[in-house]
């Protein structure tokens, strides 16, 4: 049997993320156009890659209806100008959609069936609120398989505060404030902008251009956060200041085999080492990244101490804090989300996994002393997803443990 091929992250981009809803910048923009814009921007950045060499297009969306339906990977491939011979498919693992698009198509590369793939995700939460049109089976509640409110992500975050009293609202608020500050600092340094694909906007005032994430609030203070409403329960602890906002946006990435990278003159930004997905009780879905990370570490033969950079999706601050406490990592550890995260940038569900990867790839460039990095996220209905990557700028890259 042939050896497993190296799976290389060549490049990743995203649209700027916009506030969901009528006042958001993408209200008049179609979801499929957002992901097509990400794919075309990605291809323009990689002129060495002939379009006919793309073997598959895997695009995730959580609410696969309307302009987010119709076998999105195939329709986006056609709209992005890829050859009619390029296949594509849609994928759904809610928040970990793009992450699963990467691990699934990447597995095809490892198995030797693909040379090059495009993987990504899109979520237009303004047009398609989470769960729109869904009809959960009545057995979930009738047979007490899940609590009646377990499909509400905010309630699951409140339960983490209940289960772990040490995860206080003050810690969550501080984490949310630091996320806002770190994102703004990354913008000020010019770290984030290179991987953003501008999107033309149609508004009542005329045409415009989206070039930055819309939901940032760098002026956030602890005093201000303390006064915010707790929408999920009276006197609760989850607020708009310590949770990710509803967001529209798209991501896309090129993955390739190590052989194809050399043949086509592409650049390896990271190498996939391992991944893991795991299920937990839907009522506490935020702890999902703990068992999925343990699985990914076991698959790689690594320990948590080997991870030098963490890109953790900030669906809720309490969810990230539960992960950090479990692994004995400080709330303000500089290895964790050094450029902030979804509390400030936003979390367009199925798109977010590739945002984490794109940021980690650029951080690897800045930190050749770091060999391994982790991208991880919680997933609705009680799951976690984690991918471990190796830094090609590290002196021991590709040499085994």
Q: Are 372 and 397 in contact (CB under 8 A)?
A: no
Please give the average per-residue pLDDT across 124-134, as a whole number: 91
> In the predicted model, is pLDDT for residue 99 greater than 60?
yes
Give me the phi and psi of 248, to 5 degrees please.
-110, 140
Q: According to the model, what pLDDT value does residue 133 have?
A: 87
Q: How far is CA 378 from the centre of its chain?
A: 10
CA distance 289 to 312: 9
The string of pLDDT tens digits covering residues 323-352 is 999 999 999 999 999 999 999 999 999 999
**Domain assignment of residue 51, given as a range:** 7-129+245-387
Higher-pLDDT residue of 371 and 203 is 371
Q: According to the model, what pLDDT value does residue 25 have?
A: 96
Q: Are 323 and 284 in contact (CB under 8 A)?
A: no
165, part of any domain: no
Q: Structure tokens of 126? A: 């303004």
Q: How far is CA 387 from the centre of its chain?
A: 11
Local structure of residue 244 (DSSP, 8 states): P
55, part of any domain: yes
Residue 1 binned pLDDT confidence (cut-offs 50, 70, 90): very low
The string of pLDDT tens digits covering residues 270-280 is 999 999 999 99
Could you give the C-alpha distances from 207 to 11, 126, 127, 172, in angstroms and in order?
Answer: 29, 20, 20, 38
312, part of any domain: yes
- Give the residues across from 257 on adjacent strands: 7
Instruction: Kindly report whether the global pTM for this prediction surpasses the value 0.85.
Output: yes
143, part of any domain: no
Q: According to the model, what pLDDT value does residue 202 have?
A: 86
CA distance 63 to 125: 9
Please give the average per-residue pLDDT across 116-124, as a whole number: 98
The string of pLDDT tens digits covering residues 41-98 is 999 999 999 999 999 999 999 999 999 999 999 999 999 999 999 999 999 999 999 9
CA distance 344 to 217: 7
CATH of residue 339: 3.40.47.10
Active site residues: 95, 347, 378
Give me the phi and psi of 245, to 5 degrees please.
-80, 165
Residue 401 binned pLDDT confidence (cut-offs 50, 70, 90): low
High-pLDDT (> 90) share of the chain, %: 92
Reported as type and span, the H/E element at residue 118 is strand 116-124
> In the predicted model, is pLDDT for residue 388 greater than 90?
yes
79, part of any domain: yes
239, part of any domain: no
323, part of any domain: yes
Residue 203 binned pLDDT confidence (cut-offs 50, 70, 90): confident
Number of domains in the chain: 1
Among all chains, which residue has been given the structure tokens 């997905």?
277
Residue 105 binned pLDDT confidence (cut-offs 50, 70, 90): very high
Q: Are 353 and 100 in contact (CB under 8 A)?
A: yes
Q: According to the model, what pLDDT value does residue 373 have?
A: 98
Angle 187-193-198 (CA atoms, 0-180°, nearest 5)? 135
Local structure of residue 94 (DSSP, 8 states): G
* 57 phi-psi bin (left φ>0, alpha ψ -120 to 50, beta other): beta
306, part of any domain: yes
């Amino acid at each position: 049997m042939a050896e497993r091929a190296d799976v290389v992250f060549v490049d990743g981009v995203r649209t700027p993320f916009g506030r969901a809803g009528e006042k958001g910048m993408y209200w008049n923009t179609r979801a499929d156009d957002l992901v097509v814009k990400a794919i075309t921007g990605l291809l323009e950045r990689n002129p060495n890659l002939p379009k006919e060499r793309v073997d598959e297009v895997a695009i995730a969306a959580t609410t696969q209806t309307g302009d987010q339906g119709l076998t999105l990977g195939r329709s986006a491939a056609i709209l992005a100008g890829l050859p009619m011979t390029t296949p594509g498919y849609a994928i759904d693992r809610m928040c970990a959609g793009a992450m699963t698009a990467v691990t699934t198509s990447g597995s095809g590369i490892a198995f030797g069936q693909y040379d090059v793939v495009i993987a990504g995700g899109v979520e237009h939460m303004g047009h398609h609120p989470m769960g729109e049109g869904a009809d959960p089976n009545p057995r979930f509640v009738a047979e007490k398989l899940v609590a009646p409110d377990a499909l509400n992500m905010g309630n699951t975050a409140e339960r983490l505060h209940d289960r772990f009293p040490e995860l206080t609202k003050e810690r969550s608020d501080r984490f949310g404030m630091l996320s806002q500050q770190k994102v703004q600092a990354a913008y000020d340094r010019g770290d984030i902008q290179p991987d953003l694909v501008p999107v033309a906007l149609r508004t009542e005032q005329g045409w415009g251009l989206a070039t930055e994430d819309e939901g940032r609030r760098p002026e956030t203070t602890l005093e201000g956060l303390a006064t915010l409403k707790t929408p999920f329960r009276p006197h609760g602890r989850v607020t708009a200041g310590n949770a990710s906002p509803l967001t529209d946006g798209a991501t896309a990435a090129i993955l390739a085999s190590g052989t194809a990278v050399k043949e086509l003159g592409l650049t390896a930004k990271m190498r996939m080492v391992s991944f893991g997905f795991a299920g937990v009780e839907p009522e506490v879905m935020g702890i999902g990244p703990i068992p999925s990370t343990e699985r990914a570490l076991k698959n790689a033969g690594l320990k948590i101490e080997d991870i030098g950079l963490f890109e953790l999706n900030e669906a809720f601050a309490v969810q990230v804090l539960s992960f950090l406490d479990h692994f004995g990592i400080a709330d303000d550890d500089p290895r964790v989300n050094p450029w902030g995260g979804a509390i400030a940038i936003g979390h367009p569900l199925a798109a977010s996994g590739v945002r984490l990867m794109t940021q980690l790839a650029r951080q690897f460039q800045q930190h050749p002393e770091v060999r391994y990095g982790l991208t991880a996220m919680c997933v609705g209905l009680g799951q976690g997803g984690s991918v471990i990557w190796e830094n090609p700028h590290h002196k021991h890259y590709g040499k085994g443990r």
